[in-house]
């Protein structure tokens, strides 16, 4: 009996130990599984985070690449734009040279063969005394001239008009004066867009000694005693190889920079216009030139007198007119009528001079003109009676007048 109880106890004791061992084993397995699960979760989290980081890196790289491409495009665009602007600026620079470069085109050295050939001799240039060049040409407006070359250097009233001086060019506009402030021989009431170049002459702008160096000593010289402004006048003339005859006159003018040689004009003739005069004891070649200059100045001033009041110089016409003479009465009456507005003198030719023996000379003159009521250009032949001492026009008579 004792033996059986002992065996029973031993059996129970063994069973109890086995159960505890199983429990411990189960707890150990659960702990290992939990740790494993935790490890797996951590691994999943790590992989997920790596994946998210990888995706984020790719997204950032793609964004960076996209921005880089945009920047490249912008840089290329800006570069192209800069190149286009540079090309445009270069083209504009080519199309519109600097003002100084343009002004250089107005400089003509009197010592050059190009200029001399137009002033002395008979083979080149214009017969009417204008200066042939391509810078400023008839038909250009004052606006066009000054947009290209800048404002005129100065202007002054001379020979019935106020030329505007640009470099070595004396430009006479159709209004006989340039648009300007109105205190320098200009007029501030005219429209420069419609003030067109009528003629262009050579302006020397040099002292007397430089004229002599360039063209030699003149055949005729007036010390100023017979000129209206009291300044010297120089006369060159001669026969060319083609048998024609030239007469070149050089005036002296007072400019803002002092007294210098002003415009130089040459006229060409088929034969010596003084041939008969040289045979006459009454009218010399020099006298003919004097009367030619005087009648030109009078007729151009007459046109200005009919049109404008120029800086309180409208009385300049009365250098040639004396109150109480027939010429004075006729001209002032014409002015009052208003029929001679828009008057323009285009050309004046002195055909002959005849000494009347009473202190006067008769000037046979042809002139081309127009005015508001002339129905276009006309040419008239007029005989003027001039006092030999005062150069006043005493009277005149129109011989003919026809359409030009």
Concatenated DSSP letters of 201-234: EEEEEE-HHHHHHHH-S-SEEE-STTSTTS--EE
Q: What is the DSSP string of 265-322?
A: EEEEESS-TTHHHHH-SSS-HHHHHHHHHHHHHHHHHHHHHHH---TT-GGGGGGS--
Cβ count within 10 A of residue 282? 12
pLDDT per position as a tens digit, 187-222 = 999 999 999 999 999 999 999 999 999 999 999 888
CA distance 207 to 210: 6
Q: Name the residue with higher pLDDT: 9 or 33.
A: 33
List, in order, residues 6 or more apart from 389 with CB less than 8 Å away: 359
- pTM higher than the cut 0.75: no
What φ, ψ does residue 315 adopt, rounded to 5°? -75, -5
- Is residue 201 classed exposed, middle or buried when 0-12, 13-18 and 19+ CB atoms within 10 A define those classes? buried
pLDDT per position as a tens digit, 261-318 = 999 999 888 888 776 544 444 678 888 999 999 999 999 889 888 887 654 444 677 8
The DSSP letter of residue 136 is: S
Angle, CA 104 vertex, CA 100 and CA 108 arms, to 5°: 160
- In this structure, are residues 190 and 143 in contact, taking their beta carbons and an 8 Å threshold? no
Q: What is the DSSP string of 171-203?
A: EEETTSS-BS-SSSS-BSSS-GGG-BEEEEEEE
Distance of CA 128 to the CA centre of its chain: 25
Query: In the predicted model, is pLDDT for residue 91 greater than 50?
Result: no
Query: In the predicted model, is pLDDT for residue 131 greater than 50?
Result: yes
List, in order, residues 6 or more apart from 280 with CB less than 8 Å away: none
| C-alpha dihedral, 19 to 25 to 28 to 29, nearest 10° | -120
Q: What is the mean pLDDT of residues 230-247?
A: 91
- Please list the alpha-helical segments (H only) found in 96-165: 99-104, 113-119, 142-149
- In this structure, are residues 404 and 345 in contact, taking their beta carbons and an 8 Å threshold? no
pLDDT per position as a tens digit, 25-36 = 455 556 666 667
Q: Name the residue with higher pLDDT: 61 or 299.
A: 299
CA distance 118 to 246: 10
């Amino acid at each position: 009996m004792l033996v059986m109880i002992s065996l029973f106890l031993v059996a129970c004791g063994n069973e109890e130990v086995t159960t505890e061992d199983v429990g411990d084993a189960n707890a150990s397995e659960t702990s290992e599984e939990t740790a494993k699960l935790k490890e797996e979760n951590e691994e999943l989290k790590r992989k997920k985070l790596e994946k998210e980081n990888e995706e984020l890196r790719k997204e950032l790289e793609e964004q960076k690449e996209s921005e880089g491409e945009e920047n490249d495009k912008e840089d290329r665009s800006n570069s192209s734009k800069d190149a286009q602007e540079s090309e445009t600026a270069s083209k504009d620079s080519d199309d519109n040279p600097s003002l100084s470069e343009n002004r250089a085109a107005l400089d003509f050295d009197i010592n050059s063969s190009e200029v001399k050939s137009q002033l002395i001799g008979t083979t080149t240039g214009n017969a009417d005394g204008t200066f042939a060049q391509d810078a400023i040409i008839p038909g250009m407006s004052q606006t066009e001239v000054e947009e290209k070359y800048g404002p005129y250097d100065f202007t002054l009233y001379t020979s019935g008009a106020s030329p505007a001086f640009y470099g070595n060019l004396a430009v006479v506009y159709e209004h006989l004066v340039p648009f300007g402030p109105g205190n320098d021989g200009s007029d501030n009431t005219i429209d420069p867009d419609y003030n067109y170049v009528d003629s262009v002459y050579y302006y020397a702008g040099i002292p007397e000694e430089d004229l002599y160096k360039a063209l030699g000593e003149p055949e005729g010289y007036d010390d100023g005693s017979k000129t209206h402004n009291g300044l010297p006048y120089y006369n060159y003339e001669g026969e060319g190889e083609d048998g024609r005859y030239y007469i070149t006159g050089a005036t002296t003018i007072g400019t803002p920079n002092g007294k210098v040689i002003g415009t130089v004009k040459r006229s060409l003739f088929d034969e010596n216009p003084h041939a008969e005069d040289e045979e006459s004891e009454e009218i010399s070649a020099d006298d003919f030139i004097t009367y030619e200059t005087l009648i030109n100045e009078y007729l151009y001033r007459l046109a200005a007198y009919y049109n404008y009041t120029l800086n309180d110089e409208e009385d300049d016409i009365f250098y040639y007119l004396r109150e109480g003479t027939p010429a004075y009465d006729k001209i002032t009456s014409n002015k009052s009528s208003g029929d001679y507005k828009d008057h323009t003198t285009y050309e004046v030719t002195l055909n002959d001079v005849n000494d009347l023996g009473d202190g006067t000379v008769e000037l046979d003159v042809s002139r081309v003109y127009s005015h508001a009521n002339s129905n276009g250009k006309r040419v008239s032949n007029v005989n003027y009676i001039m006092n030999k001492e005062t150069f006043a026009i005493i009277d005149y008579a129109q011989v003919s007048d026809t359409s030009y």
